[in-house]
Structure 1
């Protein structure tokens, strides 16, 4: 069996155990809720500036700010990092 298959198999077993309420040995990563509007305002950007700077469509940003949708996956991670270190993220994105 390949290492990739073993890793996937382990993840599936953990997911099944978690779904069944068996949390022993299961690693659960929980991210805090993201208040996108507050993050943007703390950075001091308009919606257009924020969307352009961080590669987010303006429509998606507006949905997040209204609460119609919630950032997921990499977008949520990016927003959590922007909330803590906005200038570092901006420097990294502007580095060429």
Structure 2
């Protein structure tokens, strides 16, 4: 499973900015990073991890 915090920090984004860019509820992102929740969307997170910019651009167009 991808390390969501590491992905976010690699982009230099706040939790709020990352959640907004990738359309993840902020509370969900915080839960993942704090280990209280485990991503059920791990396939989506793997795509983001491998294609950070492409995923963000695709979501902007949607």
Report the TM range for the smaller structure's normalisation. Answer: 0.7 to 0.9
TM-score (norm: length of structure 2) = 0.88
Counterpart of 1:46?
A: 14
Tell me how large the CA RMSD over aligned residues is: 1.2
Q: 1:19-38 counterparts in 2 under 5 A?
A: 33-38=1-6
In 2: Cα distance, 1:57 partner to 1:90 partner: 15
Structure 1 regions of 5+ residues with no counterpart? 1-32
Unaligned runs of 5+ residues in structure 2 are: none
**Cα distance in 2, alignment partners of residues 54 and 89 from structure 1:** 8
Higher RCO by CA contacts (8 Å cutoff, separation 6 or greater): 2
Instruction: Number of aligned residue pairs: give it.
Output: 62
Higher Cα Rg, which structure: 1
Q: Give TM-score scaled by structure 1 length.
A: 0.60
Cα separation, 1, equivalents of 2:23 and 2:61: 15
